[in-house]
Amino acid sequence: MNIAVCVKQIPDPAAPYELDGENHWVVRPNDQVLDDTDRVGVEVGLQLAEASGGTVTLFSMGPSGSLQGIRQALAMGADKAVLIDDDALKGSDALTTARILTAAIEREGYDLVVAGMESTDGYTGAVPQMMSEMLDVPCLSFARKVDVADDGVTIERQTATGYEVVSAQMPALLAVTAGVFEPRYPTFKGIMQAKSKPVDTATAADLGVEPHTSQVVSGVSDVAAREAGDIVEDEGEAYLKIVELLEQVKVI
């Protein structure tokens, strides 16, 4: 089984993000990390590949930089990566991202596509759905549990009030959320092997995709932050402060 996993490198969320003064895009440092959301996708891909003797190919669009984030996914166990790093794609929209990933995945061939539900830095939460429409495959979204049988795939799909069991034929696209999948830590061996795994590159022109922009940022401003109120060290009676405030706002 050929499993395509879409992963994004993002600036380390632990460090404050910077926006470019002119175009307002997030400034992307040379060293980026694998998005936590996509760590889950890689884990799901690896589990399914291990169960079926398949391979996991990573697909990523964006500035490659030092490839740190991609190496993290390869170190977890993915077999190879296809990167689309093309200046012509800067500032392009989600639809373009989906077109690029779709074209690259179709070119390599696939049985299953795995993506995250929502990237940490972009949170459009729409690229996987767009890809499913372009590939004409079912979009098994909000998947928190996955079972692959002979020719079908069944998931538990998280809903606002519980979950649904959803089944479809392959090929299919899975958009996963955290939950039961605990992403593995790379082993030392994995980290060493990751250095020599194949990383192919492609441009938008190679894939026959015309970059497209559908929205421009017209302004960025700071949101008025809430002000911190009283901070009280508990020495046994701080709970009274809570009671006082609850009385004041007439909750008790």
Partner 1 sequence: MGIWVFAEEQDGAPLEGGLELLAKARTLGEVSVFYIGTASDSSFATLGDHGASTVYHLDTGDDLPAAPAAMAFADLLTQHGGDAVLFGPGNTDRDLAGRLAARLGKPLVAGALDIDMADGITVTTEILGGMKAVTTTVVGDGPALITTRPKAFVAEAVGGGVPSLVPVTMADAGASTATITERHVEASEGPDLEAAPVVVTGGRGLGSAEGFELVNELAGLLDGAVGGTRAVVDAGWVPYSYQVGQTGKTVKPSVYIACAVSGAMQHVVGMKGSSTIIAINKDPDAPIFALSDLGIVGDVHKVVPQLI
Ligand X SMILES: Nc1ncnc2c1ncn2[C@@H]1O[C@H](COP(=O)(O)O)[C@@H](O)[C@H]1O
Ligand Y SMILES: Cc1cc2nc3c(=O)[nH]c(=O)nc-3n(C[C@H](O)[C@H](O)[C@H](O)COP(=O)(O)OP(=O)(O)OC[C@H]3O[C@@H](n4cnc5c(N)ncnc54)[C@H](O)[C@@H]3O)c2cc1C
Residues that bind ligand X (CB under 6 A): 6-8, 37-38, 41, 59-62, 97, 101, 115-116, 118-119, 122-128
Question: Residue 85's binding partner, choosing from ligand Y, partner 1, ligand X, none, with beta-carbon cut-off 5 to 8 A by kind?
Answer: none
In whole angstroms, the minimum distance from the beta carbon of 240 to ligand X comes to 45
* Cβ proximity of 19 and 27 under 8 Å: yes
Q: Smallest Cα–Cα separation from 175: which of 148, 140, 134?
A: 140
Residue 196 binding partner 1, by CB under 8 A: no
238 binds, among ligand X, partner 1, ligand Y, none (CB under 5 to 8 A by kind): partner 1
DSSP state of 171: S
Interacting positions 33-62 with partner 1 (CB under 8 A): none
* Rounded Cα gap, residues 62 and 85, in angstroms: 5
Which of 1/178 has CB closer to partner 1?
A: 178
- Given the complex with partner 1, which of 196 and 248 has the nearer CB atom? 248
- Alpha-carbon distance 26 to 18, whole Å? 6
166 touches partner 1 (CB under 8 A):
yes
Q: 39-48 b/e with 16+ CB inside 10 Å = b?
A: bbbbbbbbbb
149 binds partner 1 per the rule CB under 8 A: no
In angstroms, what is the minimal distance from the CB of 195 to ligand Y?
27
How many residues in the shown chain lie near partner 1 by CB under 8 A?
80
Q: Which of residues 58-117 bind partner 1 (CB under 8 A)?
A: 93-95, 98, 117
Which one of ligand Y, ligand X, partner 1, none is in contact with 138 (Cβ closer than 5 to 8 A by kind)? Answer: partner 1
Site for partner 1 in 13-32 (CB under 8 A): 13, 17, 19, 24
Least Å distance, CB 245 to partner 1, is 5
Q: What is d(CA 37, CA 15) in angstroms, rounded to the nearest whole number?
A: 17
Q: Taking a C-beta distance cutoff of 8 angstroms, is the pair 196, 215 a contact?
A: no
Q: Judged by CB, which is closer to ligand X: 75, or 130?
A: 130
161 contact, one of ligand X, ligand Y, partner 1, none, CB 5-8 Å limit per kind: partner 1
Task: Name the residue nearer to partner 1 (CB basis): 60 or 141.
Answer: 141
Q: Please state the length of the chain.
A: 252
Q: Which two tokens stand for residue 40?
A: 């889950």
Q: Which residues contact 57 (CB under 8 A, 6 or more apart)?
A: 2, 3, 4, 5, 78, 79, 80, 81, 82, 108, 110
Residue 8 C-beta: closest distance to ligand Y, Å = 11
Rg of the chain on CA atoms, in Å:
21
Amino acid at 163: Y
